[in-house]
Amino acid sequence: MRSNILLSGLLLLSGAANAQFGSYSAFTIPDSLRKDADAVIREDYRKFKVKSIDNASMEVHTVVTIFNENASEHQTFYEWSDKFHVLDDAEVKVYNAMGKELNKYSKKEMRTVAYGDGLVEDGKLTYFTVTAPVYPITIEQTYTIKFKGLLDYPDNSILSPGVATEHFLYSVEVPTELGLRYKVLNYTAAPVKEVQKDISLYTWDIKNLKAIKREANSGPTDRYYPIIRVAPNKFSMAGYDGDMTSWKNFGQWSYNLIGKDNQLSEKSAAIIRDLVKNATSDEEKMRILYRYMQRNMRYVSIQLGIGGWKPFSADFVQEKKYGDCKALSNYMQAALQTVGIKSYYAIINADANATPAMEDFPSSPFNHAILCVPQKNDTIWLECTSNTADFGVLGDFTENRKALLVTENGGVLVSTPASRPSANIFSSHTDVEVSEDGSGSLATILKGSGEFKQEQLHYLHQKSADEMRKYFIKDLDWKTPDRSEITAGNREETPYITTAKMQYNQFYIFKAGSKMFLPTRVYNFFDETINDNTKRKQDYFFSFPYTKTDTVSFALPKGYLVEELPKGKSISNGFAKYNSRYEWDKVTGKVTVYASIEIIKHLVEAKDYERLMNFKKEVDDDISQKIVVKKEG
């Protein structure tokens, strides 16, 4: 309470005593910008100057006042360098709440480490973190980046989640003959354009944007927050000149960059042909070669230098047995080509629910490579970096977006497969033996395909007993057993099968005389976080569409009857379905609970969020019901 009174007093005095504060005092920030803000960007000034097709610089000056640890990422300065992108100079200053300078750090005092596992020449990361013994704290960063090769022009976020912006100023200076393309997302902000002789100058000057909180499970931030994207018309990297005015032209540059590196030598080709000599179809050949790559090639990450765009040769991968996403996709293309199967190297913006490339704005948003194999009746897509992915399954990392096929005739922007509930199936079957003393013995079989298989492989395959137990308790929200025995499945098989035996000294929820109240489920069947929010403004994203089924069979103690059994429920709307059924067989004394849930669409629009909330509540109500059993006599 005392600290609140002190803060209020300081704010009241700030108008009269402003001269006592530094220019970056936290108390001079308007209340309208402090509202709902974890931090306020006081100044964000960026000047991007293109000197020629492959030479540019970026001068940056930012000042941010941080109110709490929710915005602690703004306390860290980091910038990577390679031979095309160099951090020239950097300085960080720290101010207290009153705006008094506390510390100043130069680039020499920051930490610089090698980047790229020794596979990339001159890859470095420079970083420095400011500690905050007390909030608010203000951090000023000033640095310069020099570009010696230009493919990407830097994007600039005007606003980020939970952060207000007091003054944003971004200017791009470019030779008029090179030109510039730009696109502003989620904001109407046309630049002021000036032409001086052979130089064009674009300037965005924006002030006083209030903070927007990010809502849970809302997908990529560039769906909601203002950002300026800029891209070149003509560019050059390491002597490879290109044109980005169309996807076709950009794809042609990528094709030329690969050149003959997607062809295997006769020695390597002989290995590939021998692997498929007994195959009777193209699909069988593809499966054999894909599995060979998964078993023999190791994924490494290459993100810097020309290696960020140009893959290692197919022969390099065959010999060294490793490569990044580009190299492995390029290798798979070469292997298929060796046995007469046409495929296309494809670059894509990857990550769960990532924003796809924009058809009307050719640029380089891509961070991943996959392979596309056209067939007569369908198209097969291959994720070449995973040694556990099923053949022809991309998963949420690259589904539902655009990929740029790199062909001999240039780039072609195409859609990757849409996520389907039938591709991601999780099923559980549990037999429960309930003893008269209320203890329980459980035998469970879990089956997972698609993303659920990948999840179980990650948490269960070749893991210790403690790690597997942790997955059941923490990730599946299983009631903690007194004893457990878990057996992971065969990674080669789909579905992936896990078996578990659990012992509970007390399985019932509670007892009342001769009655026992039993749970209808043994774990949280629908564990999505869907909070109450009738005024939601941002869309809701599930990680992926899926189908779950759950069957629990209870063998009651001898002499016990069911006194109360829940009624089944059926719920359906445009994005999800749920069904449950409860049965009691008086002859065998068994109670069986069946339930299924299907998430049809991975995206629920904000206008439908209240319907999603109601769906969650109805499902939770059904799951939380109890089976009441009573001893006869």
Looking at residues 289-302, what average pLDDT do you find?
92
As assigned by CATH, the class of the 23-237 domain is: mainly beta
Specify whether the CB–CB gap between 317 and 265 falls below 8 A: no
The pLDDT value given to residue 139: 98
pLDDT-based confidence at residue 5 (cuts at 50, 70, 90): very low
The pLDDT value given to residue 307: 64
Q: Which of 252-256, 341-345, 363-367 has the lowest mean pLDDT?
A: 363-367
Q: pLDDT tens digits for 29-78?
A: 999 999 999 999 999 999 999 999 999 999 999 999 999 999 999 999 99
Beta bridge partners of 243: 234
The pLDDT value given to residue 6: 33
The pLDDT value given to residue 21: 53
Beta bridge partners of 7: none
pLDDT-based confidence at residue 114 (cuts at 50, 70, 90): confident
Portion of the chain with pLDDT greater than 70, in percent: 94
pLDDT-based confidence at residue 293 (cuts at 50, 70, 90): very high
The pLDDT value given to residue 308: 75
The pLDDT value given to residue 123: 79
Looking at residues 534-545, what average pLDDT do you find?
95
pLDDT-based confidence at residue 13 (cuts at 50, 70, 90): very low
pLDDT-based confidence at residue 569 (cuts at 50, 70, 90): very high
Specify whether the CB–CB gap between 157 and 225 falls below 8 A: yes
The pLDDT value given to residue 275: 98
Specify whether the CB–CB gap between 255 and 408 falls below 8 A: yes
Q: pLDDT tens digits for 241-259?
A: 999 999 999 999 999 999 9
Write out the two tokens for 62.
């930012």
- Residues 478, 522: Cα–Cα separation, whole Å: 6
The SS3 assignment for 532 reads coil
Q: Is the pLDDT of residue 263 over 50?
A: yes
CATH number for the segment(s) 422-631 = 2.60.120.1130
Looking at residues 473-488, what average pLDDT do you find?
95
Q: 343, 311, 341: which is closest to 327 by C-alpha?
A: 311
Average pLDDT across the chain, whole number: 92
In terms of DSSP bridges, do strands 163-175 and 39-52 run parallel, antiparallel, or are they unpaired?
parallel
The pLDDT value given to residue 347: 96
Q: Is the pLDDT of residue 111 over 60?
A: yes
Output 614-619 pairs: Cβ under 8 A, ≥24 positions apart.
615/571, 615/573, 615/576, 615/578, 616/526, 616/528, 616/530, 618/569, 618/571, 618/578, 619/526, 619/571, 619/578
pLDDT-based confidence at residue 337 (cuts at 50, 70, 90): very high
Q: Which helix (H) or strand (E) holds 373?
A: strand 368-374
Q: pLDDT tens digits for 366-407?
A: 999 999 999 988 899 999 999 989 999 999 999 999 999 999
Specify whether the CB–CB gap between 364 and 152 falls below 8 A: yes
pLDDT-based confidence at residue 309 (cuts at 50, 70, 90): confident
The pLDDT value given to residue 303: 63
**Domain-by-domain residue ranges, the chain?**
23-237, 246-418, 422-631
Portion of the chain with pLDDT greater than 90, in percent: 85
Q: pLDDT tens digits for 145-193?
A: 999 999 889 989 999 999 999 999 999 999 999 999 999 999 998 999 9
> What pTM value is reported for the model?
0.89
Q: Is the pLDDT of residue 451 over 80?
A: yes
The SS3 assignment for 163 reads strand
Q: Is the pLDDT of residue 19 over 60?
A: no
CATH number for the segment(s) 246-418 = 3.10.620.30
Beta bridge partners of 113: 125
Q: Is the pLDDT of residue 312 over 60?
A: yes
